[in-house]
Amino acid sequence: MPLPEPELQPIPPSFPEPTPTPAEAEPERLSARPPPADSSQRPQPQTQPHQPLDPGAVVIAAPKPAMPIAKGLPGAGLLAHLIVSKCVDHLPLHRMERVYQRQGLFLHRSTLCDWMAACAKLLQPLYDLMVNVVMQSRSLHTDDTTVKMQELVTHLLSTARLWVYLGDAAHPYNVFDFTINRKRDGPQKFLANYQGYLHADAFSGYDGLYLPDPRTAAARIIEVACNAHARRKFYEARGTDVLPSHQALAYYRQLYELERQAKDFNDEQRLQMRQELSLPILEQFHEWLVTQRPEVLPKSPMGEAISYALNNWEALRRYTEAGFLAIDNNVAEREMKRIAIGRKNWLTVGSPRGGQTAAVLFSFTSTCQRLDVEPWRYLRDVLARLPSHPPERLAELLPDEWVQTQRTAAAAEPPGDEVTPLSG
């Protein structure tokens, strides 16, 4: 009788394959959908007489809350979205008109323009306070750029200017100003009450600011020139004078390397470093410039670079006098790039009033970006509170004060509550 064949058992592998979990079987993906633009109605508190009700009693409605635009349709969230889209994301109003149309809101661009102007008017007192605070800085950074402005009568385009003034670390606001031209009247009027150091380029319109006060025989504003401007001229001269231009760039490489190493120093340490290490390099650089000046053609790129450096030498080396001063004005120039990107999209401002509106709104969005504050959340809250906010407590709505208050309130929230991020 044949023996039954043994039942074969499968040999388990040395490393069994793991069973896929639902999370592994369905990987997480990101999705997005356009935010809806909805119409919301606030419940209006009503006051009723004591019970029992008299059949002839009248129900009294409480006053409506103040709106950002008096008797206007838009809420603070929509206005904040409009400002951020135009000033941060560089979307012109005709594109925003189509964006809202896709969401079921038919808003003409002239209406959007009026809303922007109304927001700037509402924010004007807070903007003025920011300007006053910035004027208390020990040092300012300033720069300007062109914007096209449409004349009201002829509808022709002229070249206007947007100026930016950046406060120091103790007064961390970026405020913009608008002028219809680049005459010296603009910075002289804006800086009429300022006293301190001014980082700027060699624009002749600033020269009047540096003159001594006849009453005190001392300059109210002290010029700090931009070494990045001077360095750039030597960089552009490489094509005609290779060896001299590279020698000049080598001096600047040493100076900027010292600044990089001193990035985390305090003001006293940075000043000591500059006095002990940067000044000797600058003295050598100056001697080299003097000896090279007769060797090059005055109108050549190298000759113009040397002349620029020597003509502005005292202002170029002034950053070594204090630890809180900067070697260049790049921080202001980078801020102007936001305007340069934006004007490629929105192209023009429609009037001097439109230019001033842009200056006010850019001041808030730029400051939010400087302080790493989410601009839409900040503007939504401030626009909602300003109509009824006490004027004597206006400083509470400054961007740095506002974000500190919000973070304190978020820290006091019970654990587990969802907190909206304050920064982007």
Q: pLDDT tens, 357-414? A: 999 999 999 999 999 999 999 999 999 999 999 999 999 999 999 999 988 888 887 7
Tell me the residue type at 30.
L
Closest C-alpha to 175, from 149, 146, 137, 203: 137
In a domain, 161, yes or no: no
Mean pLDDT of 134-144: 96
pLDDT at 205: 85
Domain span holding position 255: 227-327
pLDDT digits (tens, 9 = 90+) for 269-321: 999 999 999 999 999 999 999 999 999 999 999 999 999 999 999 999 999 99
| Torsion angle of the four alpha carbons 39, 43, 44, 50, in this order, in degrees rounded to the nearest 10 | 160
Ramachandran angles phi, psi of 147, nearest 5°: -140, 145
pLDDT at 201 over 70: yes
In a domain, 380, yes or no: no
In a domain, 47, yes or no: no
Residue 48 neighbours by CB under 8 Å, 6+ apart:
57, 59, 60
pLDDT digits (tens, 9 = 90+) for 10-67: 545 554 555 555 555 556 677 766 666 655 555 455 555 555 556 666 666 666 778 8
In a domain, 285, yes or no: yes
In a domain, 286, yes or no: yes
Domains contained in the chain, number: 1
Rounded CA separation 235/251 (Å): 12
In a domain, 281, yes or no: yes
pLDDT at 59: 65
In a domain, 24, yes or no: no
> pLDDT category, 72, cuts 50, 70, 90?
confident
pLDDT at 155: 83
Rounded CA separation 356/420 (Å): 32
Name the region of 248 (left: φ>0; alpha: ψ -120 to 50; beta: rest). alpha
Name the region of 86 (left: φ>0; alpha: ψ -120 to 50; beta: rest). alpha
Residue scoring higher pLDDT (46 or 164): 164
Q: How far is CA 339 from the centre of its chain?
A: 10
Q: Quote the pTM value.
A: 0.85
**Helix/strand/coil (H/E/C) assignment for every residue in 186-234:** HHHHHCCCCCEEEECCCCHHHHHHHCECCCCCCECEEEECCHHHHHHHH
In a domain, 413, yes or no: no
